[in-house]
Amino acid sequence: MDYSFGFVATLFGAACVAGFLGALLGVGGGIFIVPTLVLWFHLPMKIAIAASAVSVIATSNAGGSSYVEHRITNLRVSMFLEMFTTFGALSGAVLALYLNEHVIQLVFAAMLAYMAWAAFSTRNLDDERIASGAYANATPDRISKWLDLRGSYHDEAAKRDVDYVVSGAPIGAGISYVAGIASGLLGVGGGVLKVSAMNGYMNIPMKAAVGTSKLMIGVTAAVSSMLFFVAGLVHFIVVGPVAVGTTAGATAGTLVMNRLESRWLKWIFAALMAYLAFEMGRSGIRGARG
Amino acid sequence: MKTQDNVYRVVHRVLHGGMIASTVLFVIGIGAALRRRQHVPLDAAWIRGHYRLSSIGHGIVTMDATTIMMIATALMILTPAARVLVSIWAFWVDRDRKFVVVTSIVALIMMATLVLAGAGLT
């Protein structure tokens, strides 16, 4: 591979887009980075996946740092769910030895399609609940009450502080575990499922879910990146422009996210999930047919 | 609800510091790589050849692009792990015992994954 200005500039540009969308939606952005490296630059798949894993950390460090500073991230919720998602990633890596990857892809595709529909059909609900203060009036489940899982952030689009009480911690934990399996087994989809779990089932407003997921994805990506690093698959010359690009894109994305109305975030989020479901389903069907 | 100011401040500092340090090193490394415009092999053996301490020392002295970006990558990868570890300390300082336990479990699972991977399970 020849290291040229064109190579660095293209990689930087693609990573900027991935970092920006990642910060906006609380996801890693690997679905943009891996095809760019494989299809445009013809890099081996394993090197592309390893570079993508490091880029997820870059976007998590940049986005997470900003969201933590502005208190959009809920640190207690992130620590609670990280227990399940890291255990899920470990389970996913072990399950990969025994399960048919294509069957798993089809299961996840169905799950993502359902969640895409759920996000789309509730696209106006977030803004309505923020306006009516409904997020603050939920009844916490026993775990959320015991761990004091609640929070507050300033919504720049709604121009008000949004208080919320977490409920549905067991189902959130279950979906986070599945999200960890998705990351460990398939390398994608972890952030999408975490945001869906928090917003759809745990009474956490979309923006707080995005900020919390942004922080969480760094931990799972760090574990897989360490494994890739030891195996000699992290190609530092490739990772450089990808990491700087995702950091720049994520920094810009964090400036925009809190100014958008939640319904626009949900539109983009539903579209991304539908795309992921389609790609995962297509890959699963192709693989099952042999 | 506890204020958690201490935990938020510490986590922000670690993430921000890790991001700035690794980005600066990456930019220096990219500049050095573009100046030399070398042909770079894509195999794992070539990458692992940079892991020796002597290569790292020599790479730092000669401003070798790969070595600088390797250090930047290591810093970046270690940042989330460091964030988890300092959170345990911050929750401990806040006397938030439940979350000292919760965060310690996260750290233990991270370590278990690495140990199992090292043993060739993954």
Nearest to B10 by CA among B97, B120, B88: B88
Helices (H), A29-147: 30-35, 45-69, 75-95, 101-121, 125-132, 142-147
Residues in chain B: 122
Residue B1 predicted with pLDDT over 70: no
Predicted local distance difference test score (pLDDT) of residue B75: 95
Among A8, A61, A228, pick the best mutation site for testing chain B contact (most B Cβ within 10 A): A61
Backbone angles phi, psi at A229, to 5 degrees: -60, -50
Question: Cα–Cα distance between A228 and A84 in angstroms, integer?
Answer: 22
Residue A222 has its nearest CB partner, among B48, B77, B109, at: B77
Single-letter amino acid, residue A235: H
Q: What is the DSSP string of A240-284?
A: HHHHHHHHHHHHHHHHHHTTS-HHHHHHHHHHHHHHHHHHHHHHH
Band (B12; pLDDT cuts 50, 70, 90)? very high
Residue A138 CA to residue B80 CA, distance in Å, equals 32
Span A127-150, average pLDDT: 91
Tokens representing B96 are 């938030």
Query: Taking the C-alpha atoms of A277, A252, A211 and A135 in order, what is their torsion angle to the nearest 10 degrees?
Result: -90
Percent of chain A clearing pLDDT 90 (strictly above): 37
The average pLDDT across B24-30 equals 95
Over residues A286-290, mean pLDDT: 78
Q: Would you say B22 and A248 are in contact if contact means Cβ atoms under 8 Å apart?
A: no
pLDDT at A131: 85
**A220-249: average pLDDT:** 88
Tokens 């810093």 found at: B75
Distance CA A110, CA A95 (A): 19
Residue that the structure tokens 């969201």 belong to: A67
Which chain B residues are Cβ-neighbours of A234 within 8 angstroms?
47, 73
Q: What would the pLDDT profile of A7-23 be if each residue is shown by its tens digit?
A: 889 889 989 998 898 88
ipTM of the complex: 0.88
Which residues 6+ apart lie within 8 Å of A157 measured at CB? A258, A259, A260, A261, A262
A173 pLDDT band, cuts 50/70/90, is: very high
Gap between the Cα atoms of B71 and B25, Å rounded? 8
Check CB contact under 8 Å for A1 and B102.
Answer: no
pLDDT digits (tens, 9 = 90+) for A250-274: 999 999 998 988 888 889 888 988 8
CA angle A237, A239, A242 (to 5 degrees): 120
Give the span between the Cα atoms of B88 and B36, in whole angstroms. 44
A234 three-class SS: coil
Nearest to A219 among B4, B73, B80 (CB): B80
More confident residue, B49 or A74: A74
* Set of chain A residues whose Cβ sits within 8 Å of the Cβ of B112: 90
| pTM for the whole structure | 0.89
Instruction: Quote the pLDDT of residue A188.
Output: 65
Average pLDDT over residues A198-212: 93
Q: Would you call A227 and B114 a contact, using CB atoms and an 8 Å cutoff?
A: yes
Q: B98 to chain A: nearest residue by CA?
A: A147
Q: Which of A89, A218, A240 sits opposite B69 (nearest CB)?
A: A240
List the single best residue of A234, A236, A239, A251 to mutate versus B (max B Cβ within 10 A): A236
Average pLDDT over residues A46-57: 86
Q: What is the mean pLDDT of residues A225-230?
A: 83
Residues of B in contact with A51 (CB under 8 A): none
Predicted confidence band of residue B3 (pLDDT cuts 50, 70, 90): low
H or E stretch at B72: helix B65-93
Query: Percent of chain A, pLDDT > 70?
Result: 97
Handedness of CA A279, A280, A285, A287 (dihedral sign): positive
Tokens of A116: 């895409």
Confidence band of A24 (pLDDT split at 50, 70, 90):
confident
Sequence-distant (≥ 6) Cβ neighbours of residue A58 within 8 angstroms: A19, A242, A243, A244, A246, A247, A250, B19, B22, B76
* pLDDT at residue A246, as a whole number: 93
Distance separating alpha carbons of residues A257 and A207, to the nearest angstrom = 8
pLDDT score for A73: 95
Structure tokens at B68: 């600088």
Is B68 a residue whose pLDDT tops 90? yes
Mean pLDDT value of segment B43-49: 76
Tokens of A204: 């956490």
* Contact yes or no for A248/A16 (Cβ under 8 A): yes
Neighbours of A5 (CB within 10 A): 9
More confident residue, A166 or A186: A166
User: pLDDT confidence of B104, banded at 50, 70, 90?
Assistant: very high
- For position A2, what pLDDT does the model report? 72
Q: What pLDDT, on a 0 to 100 scale, did the predictor assign at position B122?
A: 47
d(CA A13, CA A173): 36
State the smallest CA–CA distance between residue A194 and chain B in angstroms. 16
